[in-house]
Structure 1
């Protein structure tokens, strides 16, 4: 470009809105074209004992990496192979039990077409995602997913824009159909995302974070209030937990309870833990998800819950600070 570009505010909005409309129209046109071929590809991938090797050059390659990642995270093992590198050794990553998903809008990518005979000799099933069902890639494929678009969002109708959006959407549709067919659950998704927020919420249990053993501020009913306060200070949980001889939870006393006693002018001398405790503290199972404990704290407007077993015996305690440190909330 030899002259400085000049773009008015209204022109920028006009171009942007037109681009979005073109891409939205391209996506809407995909649905009616889905048919037997799509169902056959889903069945092929469901019944495969191998993985899905996704290939594509240029912008289709970038889309292919995303599709491979989405498939892998939703229960269909997949990986990306660069077609140019495949001709120089990386094709060894592909085994006869794998399925190749090849992306090319034109269907005439030289790098892809160069390895098609080798894939055929390997006996690998080939799925083509292309905008030209009559292309070389489509003719070599066992199944064809039609990703054609009427026009690109690019005003010059040159830069891959609507066509790559269609590829991404079609890849997402394939991944979601496979996810549904496999009965893939949120818990399964979390297992492949252990470092993410969803993984922490669905894989972290109260037992993993709770304070237990000597870290708990246990007290008995006959303990003096002053001795109970010393236990509370030593354990640093902001509460004391009343238990009986069998470790059943009988009550709780918090820093807030102490403050309210003082505000009322109560004579603290001579009081026992049993006299100031309030019963029915909020509890959860030690095997519950940590996020369930967080929900209980939020609904009850409290900052700590007790973990108990089926007989209501004390197992531990978990605070809002514990949940925050673990990034559950």
Structure 2
């Protein structure tokens, strides 16, 4: 159409004439193994006393905690500041070093902590930021990987991240150093969560949207069907008389109850097919109570919705619904897999 070029078909594997460069499976396997050795070196040599001191400093911070870095280290610093902020017990943000020197350092107050991430500890941008941050009364922490670097010498606390080498063939591109920065930072954040005994409810308060928030906030009672939406029947009802109830409520089952709505069992559309296959025309003479499952899985209305999802998926067999009962085994609702998925869980 018009002047758009015709899409070119991908070159076939092994087509040397195409000039296509191919990734060698064996080579990428060797690279993964080399990266594993680099990470093992970090885990084997990381100073746990330094890590604990760093975590304690963040935990005891009287003010905000800022993270800063240049390039790829800056990206890690930005991520760690967001993760720390999401916990809700300390104010945290990313401070871009160049922007800081052009006004953003105004966000820094006495007692705040500034964490400076740098592989070499020689970044001019960070070295230029240090005296300005110190003049603002901030407590400075360096996180670096080169021994005896100038940034570490200028800071109040220095954290060394052992780096055997970069996976880059020139030992230059930060493809391992940033990995250990992220692992170190995220592990310290996890230590803070454990020390503060952060609850699911506290964590959820800062994640109101998305799958995380929904899984931590929504309870079964928030997503269940109830009242006239429930596919209810009595155990003495004839199976064939309950087909409309079985199929019209969109649950794929019947909830068999007594006169006080205590749950007796469940009868599914799968049970209907199996009963019809086994009994043929005799199904017209069978009651729901004769064929129902009298030991179904159930769940409380105050259980987390994500727990309902896990319960449906647990062995020995997955189910598409769970009757919701109170502590007296009275049916008050039903939660379905389709309903959970529709709610974004």
TM-score scaled by length of structure 1: 0.79
- Contact kept, 8 Å, 1:206 with 1:287, in 2: the verdict is yes
Give the match for residue 327 of structure 2.
310
The answer for unaligned runs of 5 or more in structure 1 is none
Cα deviation, 1:200-237, whole Å, max 9, x if unaligned, reads: 44444322221111101223456555553333343232
Q: Which range moved further: 265-274 or 280-289?
A: 265-274
Q: SS in structure 1 opposite 2:299? A: strand
Task: Provide the aligned C-alpha RMSD in A.
Answer: 3.7
Give the match for residue 189 of structure 2.
175
CA–CA distance in structure 2, aligned partners of residues 227 and 26 of structure 1? 65
Q: Which range moved further: 194-203 or 311-320?
A: 194-203
Counterpart selection for 2:135 from 121, 129, 132: 121
- Contact kept, 8 Å, 1:294 with 1:320, in 2: the verdict is yes
| CA 1:45–1:245: 2 relative to 1, 3 Å | same
Counterpart selection for 1:96 from 93, 104, 110: 110
Aligned length: 323
Aligned-pair distance for 1:43?
Answer: 1.3
Does residue 144 in structure 1 map to residue 158 in structure 2? yes
- Contact kept, 8 Å, 1:19 with 1:154, in 2: the verdict is no
Does residue 38 in structure 1 map to residue 88 in structure 2? no
Q: SS in structure 2 opposite 1:237? A: coil
The answer for unaligned runs of 5 or more in structure 2 is 1-18
- Contact kept, 8 Å, 2:299 with 2:322, in 1: the verdict is yes
Does residue 281 in structure 1 map to residue 293 in structure 2? no
- Contact kept, 8 Å, 2:45 with 2:162, in 1: the verdict is no
- Contact kept, 8 Å, 2:232 with 2:255, in 1: the verdict is yes
Cα deviation, 1:16-52, whole Å, max 9, x if unaligned, reads: 8469637733651565351544332221111114332
Give the match for residue 231 of structure 1.
245
- Contact kept, 8 Å, 1:27 with 1:166, in 2: the verdict is no
Counterpart selection for 1:290 from 297, 302, 305: 305
| CA 1:258–1:57: 2 relative to 1, 3 Å | closer
Which residues of 2 match residues 52-91 of structure 1 at below 5 A?
52-73=65-86, 77-91=91-105
- Contact kept, 8 Å, 1:53 with 1:80, in 2: the verdict is yes
Q: SS in structure 1 opposite 2:244? A: helix
Does residue 255 in structure 1 map to residue 272 in structure 2? no
Q: Which range moved further: 81-90 or 228-237?
A: 228-237
CA–CA distance in structure 2, aligned partners of residues 272 and 216 of structure 1? 19
Does residue 218 in structure 1 map to residue 229 in structure 2? no
Cα deviation, 1:272-323, whole Å, max 9, x if unaligned, reads: 6556655343322122233433344343443322110000111111223223
Give the match for residue 206 of structure 1.
220
